[in-house]
Amino acid sequence: MTQHRDDERIREVRIDALAYGGDYNPDQWSEETWHEDIRLMKEAGVTMVSLPIFSWPQLEPEPGVYDWGWLDRIIDLLHEAGIRIDLATATATPPSWLLREHPEMGPWDSEGHRLEFGSRQTYCPSSPIWRENVARMTRAMAERYGEHPGLAMWHISNEYGDHVSRCWCPESARHFRRWLQHRYGDLDGLNEAWGVNVWGQRYTSWDHIETPKKAPGPINPTKLLDFERFSSDAMLELFQIEIDVLREVTPDIAVTTNFMSMFRDLDYWDFAAVEDIVTDDAYPEPADPTSHVGAALNYGLMRSLKGGRPWLLLESSASATSWRDINVPKAPGKIRVESLQAVAHGSDAVMFFQWRQAKYGQEKFHSSMLGHRGERSRSYQETKALGLELRKLEPVRGTRVRSRVALVVDWDSWWGSSAVESLPSQRLQWAQQARAWHRALHTLGHPVDTVRATGPFDKYDVVVVPNLYIAEHPQAEAVRTFVERGGHLIVGPFSGVVDATEKVHDGGAPGPLRDLLGIEVDEQWPIADGLVERIAYGSADAGHGTIDVPSWAEWIEADADVDVRGRYASGVLEGLPAVTRRRSGAGSASYVSAMLTPDGMITVFADLLRAAGLPVRDQIDVNAEAVTRSDDQTDYTFLLNHGAQPVALRLPASGIDLLTGAEAADVVELDGYGAAVVASPRAAEIPFITLTTPTAKEQA
């Protein structure tokens, strides 16, 4: 089992500017090109680059034979140019000789096939050979460059789990058994936890337990769930191995590994706890006009993983990616507004994959800061302008986002409700549900933090729980305390269903949340594809009405003291409660028994936010976003227009737009993909930004 070594000491990244730049792969270019790179980087305001992420084979071409020369030279050149280095430990992918010598360290898929060399990340996270070599390489890097004055921080591995997050090989099976022994003590404990009497699954020896490879039919759900937990922990152990080496050799240098936004396979709460700074790679889909909404939730997670501390956007794309089926480029202006969105949400960096667009290999069609046309490329022109503009935002560095609403992100429930094969419906997906709930809050004007299911919740007025399939006493206790102290809680369908061993709670859902919510679920009531049921919500004169329910409903019964906000208005459930609210202590606890359409979510959340005394936007436009970062004196309110049409936003206080240096009017008009960052004295209330009617300029 992983040792979580939460280290109270936080090491700062050694850079005194917003980090701006990208992944840099000098080993794909001649040294002559390096000089041009550095000249253009300086012109574009680059302050930091990440390297040598995938260069282990170039640094150790033969076992024990190192070639540091080229890396020494480029690091010195960058340092002389004043560009800081996010130095990778170069362990993202093994050299071919290592895998050839130890084929057993290769990863296996769920059908028992070994994955071959030829791409990247060809390793089993549990492999002792891999772990030993990773520690050796990390030590060599740390000893060589640990005192280099250009070193800003350590970049460990790269996007853990991007290609291989689970491994089904014999070594993983041995590791899984050790993990299970630690969790359950003895075989009786395991047999009890896994409910092995169903379908004759009893184990009589630890050696009989394999990784959950493809089986004739659905696999024991607790085994599947434990395998998810184990796999996240196995990767975390690998991360910790590098951290331990770096802490020993370079105790003052910050460490990170770059996350992949809301990534299902790794519990980032655990990963963030052992590193100094959270970093993220974000690739909103350019073809999706609402991808900025998802990005807002991802960034809310990033800033919340370390309790609100600034994080770094370490990768993004200047225009198109090359790993989608169709790689749509970004319209002019989008790079800027998307980058500013990350800063708005607490990032102290804007970085790209990658600096110079590749000439060969798997990623040559992936956009970069410096496109194939070089200085003339649009991506260079736009990123150069952005790099220079970011200097004006220097005052926001280190400030924190203010939010009154938090969304519970719980990996256990995410895994439970997706790894398990036999569920009432496959339509209720944790991530989709979380995104739908977040979208309503975003549209109503609230930036959303994220929080663990056990809190802490005290900073917030409203806590939303889109789904908590797995709930135990500590989670129930945490939300009960929150409500009693005056918080407003809202819980989504299929919550409180099972305990941590995947056993249904006595009495059924919502299990330990039953008394707080004041409801009982008699039966989950999924809806067949193509059918839609309805809820009659609130009263028509309060602006409420009918909400459509695709996919999921529940037969619930409510206690007498529960306020039924919405009732089913069609089908077998007609007349039964659908959305409830129960006052408790100084707060309230609501339950939403259905999956709702986006408009329905907005109706329910507007009602809840008002009940909690929070403002909501009457006029809504999903493209208009406002987020405030603050220090003790100043609020920096980012106003962002993610759409091509102009928007007008009303500010509660006047201030100076840092991007133009001019006084911001009460109503700020933003052109398509426009942005403003208004600095004003810190207000007691978080500035709430509403939309306003089109102005003369807009109508013209």
Catalytic residue, from 159, 242, 275, 502: name it. 159
Listed in sequence order, the DSSP H helices in 305-450 are 334-344, 378-390, 411-419, 430-443
Task: Based on the shown chain and the rule CB under 6 A, indicate whether residue 162 belongs to the binding site for ligand GAL.
Answer: yes
Closer residue to ligand GAL in complex, CB, 282/483: 282
Single out the segment in contact with ligand GAL by CB under 6 A; choices: 38-46, 72-80, 157-165, 640-648: 157-165
Distance, CA of 55 to CA of 61 (rounded, Å): 10
Task: Based on the shown chain and the rule CB under 6 A, indicate whether residue 316 belongs to the binding site for ligand GAL.
Answer: no
- DSSP class of 541: G
Residue from 126, 133, 158, 495 binding ligand GAL (CB under 6 A):
158
Task: Based on the shown chain and the rule CB under 6 A, indicate whether residue 321 belongs to the binding site for ligand GAL.
Answer: yes
Residue from 353, 411, 525, 591 binding ligand GAL (CB under 6 A):
353
111 is catalytic: no
Structure tokens at 327: 């790689």
Closer residue to ligand GAL in complex, CB, 363/520: 363
Q: Exposure string (b/e) for 535-572, b if CB count within 10 Å is 16 or more?
A: bbbbeeeeebebbebbbbbbbbebeeebeebbbbbbee
306 burial level (CB within 10 Å; 0-12, 13-18, 19+):
middle
Residue 316 CB, nearest approach to ligand GAL (Å): 9
Single out the segment in contact with ligand GAL by CB under 6 A; choices: 158-166, 470-478, 508-516, 661-669: 158-166
Taking residue 270's Cβ as centre, other Cβ atoms within 10 Å add up to 18
Give 581's strand partners: 563, 590
Residue 94 CB, nearest approach to ligand GAL (Å): 16
Strand 532-537 to 587-592 pairing:
unpaired
9 burial level (CB within 10 Å; 0-12, 13-18, 19+):
exposed
Task: Based on the shown chain and the rule CB under 6 A, indicate whether residue 348 belongs to the binding site for ligand GAL.
Answer: no
- Which residues make Cβ contacts (< 8 Å) with residue 217, sequence separation at least 6? none
CB-based contact 259:278 (threshold 8 Å): yes
Give helix then strand counts, H and E, for the chain.
Answer: 18, 29
Single out the segment in contact with ligand GAL by CB under 6 A; choices: 7-15, 317-325, 452-460, 590-598: 317-325
Closer residue to ligand GAL in complex, CB, 71/451: 71
Query: Which residue in the shown chain puts its C-beta closest to ligand GAL?
Result: 353
Structure tokens at 270: 């655990």
CA 434 centroid distance within chain: 12
Single out the segment in contact with ligand GAL by CB under 6 A; choices: 177-185, 261-269, 314-322, 439-447: 314-322
Residue 597 CB, nearest approach to ligand GAL (Å): 32
CB-based contact 424:526 (threshold 8 Å): yes
Residue 231 CB, nearest approach to ligand GAL (Å): 19
Total interface residues for ligand GAL by CB under 6 A? 12
Per-residue binding letters, 116-135, with ligand GAL (x by CB under 6 A): --------------------
Closer residue to ligand GAL in complex, CB, 23/461: 23
Residue 275 CB, nearest approach to ligand GAL (Å): 17
Q: Phi-psi region for residue 595, left (φ > 0), alpha (ψ -120 to 50) or beta?
A: beta
Residue 320 CB, nearest approach to ligand GAL (Å): 10
Task: Based on the shown chain and the rule CB under 6 A, indicate whether residue 27 belongs to the binding site for ligand GAL.
Answer: no
- Which residues make Cβ contacts (< 8 Å) with residue 91, sequence separation at least 6? 56, 134, 137, 138, 156, 157, 242
**CA pseudo-torsion sign 489, 494, 497, 498:** negative
104 is catalytic: no
Per-residue binding letters, 263-302, with ligand GAL (x by CB under 6 A): ------------------x-x-------------------
Catalytic residue, from 228, 242, 275, 315: name it. 315
Strand 667-670 to 647-650 pairing:
antiparallel
Residue 314 CB, nearest approach to ligand GAL (Å): 9
Single out the segment in contact with ligand GAL by CB under 6 A; choices: 202-210, 315-323, 543-551, 562-570: 315-323
Residue 498 CB, nearest approach to ligand GAL (Å): 33
Closer residue to ligand GAL in complex, CB, 119/695: 119
Residue from 315, 338, 348, 657 binding ligand GAL (CB under 6 A):
315
Q: Phi-psi region for residue 391, left (φ > 0), alpha (ψ -120 to 50) or beta?
A: alpha
**What residues numbered 366-385 form the site for ligand GAL, per CB under 6 A?**
366
Residue 380 CB, nearest approach to ligand GAL (Å): 18
SS3 430: helix
Structure tokens at 344: 């708005």
Name the residue among 313, 593, 327, 607 with its Cα closest to residue 444.
Answer: 607
**What residues numbered 195-234 form the site for ligand GAL, per CB under 6 A?**
none
Q: Which residues are catalytic?
A: 159, 315
Residues at the interface with ligand GAL (CB under 6 A): 158-159, 162, 281, 283, 315, 317, 321, 323, 353, 363, 366
